[in-house]
A = this chain, B = another copy of it.
Amino acid sequence: MPIAENIKSALASSSMIRRMFEEGLQLKKIHGNDNVFDFSLGNPDIDPPRTFHDLFVKLAQEDEKGSHGYMPNAGYPHVREALAKKVSREQNVKADGSHIVLSVGAAGGLNTVIKTICNPDDEVIVSRPYFMEYRAYTANHGAKLVEVDALDDFDLDIKAIDAALNEKTAAVIINSPNNPTGKIYSKEKLSSLASALTQHGKKTGRFVYLVSDEPYREIVYGHDVPPVLSCYSQSIVVYSYSKSLSLPGERIGYIAVSPEIFDKDDLVNGLIYSTRILGYVNAPALMQRIVGTLTEEKVDISVYQRRRDAFMKVLNDAGIEYADPQGAFYLFCKVPESEREAGDQADDKAFTDHLKKYLILGVPGSGFGKPMWVRFAYCVDEKIIKNSASAFKKAAESW
């Protein structure tokens, strides 16, 4: 029994994705990097903005005494204040530094929130399809993920969420713009979710937290992401600079709680305590100072938009249907009707295997709880997207 049983079984079930990743590497070795159309990974490849670079150099040259030391576990007070201004503006609330806790990215922030609010066997509701890590994040802290199917257009199904609420429900997690669908939830939709949660709270005495995972907030194409904090008093935003500043490897983000949230001191002190004992201790010091200054900056979103438009054209030409991509950098595609012979598999895994023959790599929707769909990430050069056109066409025709 060298490792824990749950880790061992998780390794076994995640081997599919690892195998895919390894096959991708092999394909690139054989055919060359530029000849494999790898849309499997959501690894932002756009450079951080120039202002990031300038500040990075300035802080390195100054290298102020004590600037790599411990600070309070919640983060530098001046950074919390600066982020509170950003959050207040974006979320239409009056937050101050006491509503912000710096985190090790959104992944660290979500674990911190779940650890803080969930008793053993509490439930966390999520709209399916969803970012697959949520399952592990809830299991880490003894909570249970409850999956509720989205509507056909991948919008939230409020009735279904309402039906899933019970006395064990600690939170509903939403992710907008959504990975993998690109969906942005409208203000009206969020309001009806807030109504359902408020009614449930009044009836049962337990007000369910609305946890909004917003790493893609700035990655939008002609849409705004409506505020959650001003829509429902018991809401918590988790944010990451992985996408907006292209800093995924540096692990920096924050948690922001609604100024109207109940028992705010207990909650925030709990978040700070969880940050400490989960071993983050604090978000990385240098990056805290950087994001506390660059509150108005983001990467050049037009690059993603051009890629998205190019990719939509490729898919249109191949006759492959996809969900309306309002934000994030994914195209979530329907596995085409198959003309395969009887007995042949025609699901999302079979389709991604089929695509691989044409050197196209994507992730089966099953990994997001949505079989018969496939996710393509466009964190790759526009050239590669355009060059994939004939491969997609051939693959679709021969499916």
Q: Hey, which chain B residues are within 8 Å of A175, CB to CB?
A: none
Minimum distance in angstroms from A53 CB to a CB of chain B: 5
Q: Which chain B residue has the least Cβ–Cβ distance from A18? A: B269
Identify A251's interface contact among B110, B118, B281, CB under 8 A.
B281
**B105–A4 touching, CB < 8 Å:** no
Q: Which chain B residue has the least Cβ–Cβ distance from A262? A: B2
Give the contact stretch, choosing among A54-62, A179-187, A345-353. A54-62
**A274–B2 touching, CB < 8 Å:** no
**B266–A4 touching, CB < 8 Å:** no
**B250–A111 touching, CB < 8 Å:** no
**A115–B282 touching, CB < 8 Å:** no
Identify A7's interface contact among B108, B136, B274, CB under 8 A.
B274
Q: Hey, which chain B residues are within 8 Å of A111, CB to CB?
A: 278-279
Q: Is A322 at the interface (CB under 8 A from chain B)?
A: no
Give the contact stretch, choosing among A8-16, A190-198, A366-374. A8-16
**B63–A56 touching, CB < 8 Å:** yes
CA gap between A77 and B3 in the complex, in Å: 24
Q: Is A203 at the interface (CB under 8 A from chain B)?
A: no
CA gap between A41 and B66 in the complex, in Å: 14
**B45–A68 touching, CB < 8 Å:** no
Q: Which chain B residue has the least Cβ–Cβ distance from A14? A: B273
Residues of A254-296 contacting chain B, CB below 8 A: 262-263, 266-267, 269-270, 273-274, 276-287
How many residues on chain A are close to B (CB under 8 Å)? 78
Q: Hey, which chain B residues are within 8 Å of A2, CB to CB?
A: 117, 207, 262-263, 266-267
Q: Is A104 at the interface (CB under 8 A from chain B)?
A: yes
Q: Hey, which chain B residues are within 8 Å of A56, CB to CB?
A: 60, 63
**B273–A10 touching, CB < 8 Å:** yes
Given the known interface contacts A2-B266, A116-B7, the answer about A277 and B140 at a Cβ–Cβ threshold of 8 Å is yes
Q: Hey, which chain B residues are within 8 Å of A70, CB to CB?
A: 41, 43, 248-249
Q: Is A164 at the interface (CB under 8 A from chain B)?
A: no
Q: Which chain B residue has the least Cβ–Cβ distance from A289? A: B249
Q: Hey, which chain B residues are within 8 Å of A207, CB to CB?
A: 2
Interface residues of A (CB under 8 A from B): 1-8, 10-11, 14, 41, 43-45, 47-48, 53, 56-57, 59-61, 63, 65-71, 104-105, 107-112, 115-119, 122, 133, 136-137, 140, 142, 206-207, 246-251, 262-263, 266-267, 269-270, 273-274, 276-287
Mind listing 12 A-B residue pairs with CB under 8 Å?
A7-B270, A10-B277, A11-B269, A14-B273, A45-B69, A57-B63, A59-B60, A60-B60, A105-B281, A111-B278, A251-B280, A251-B282
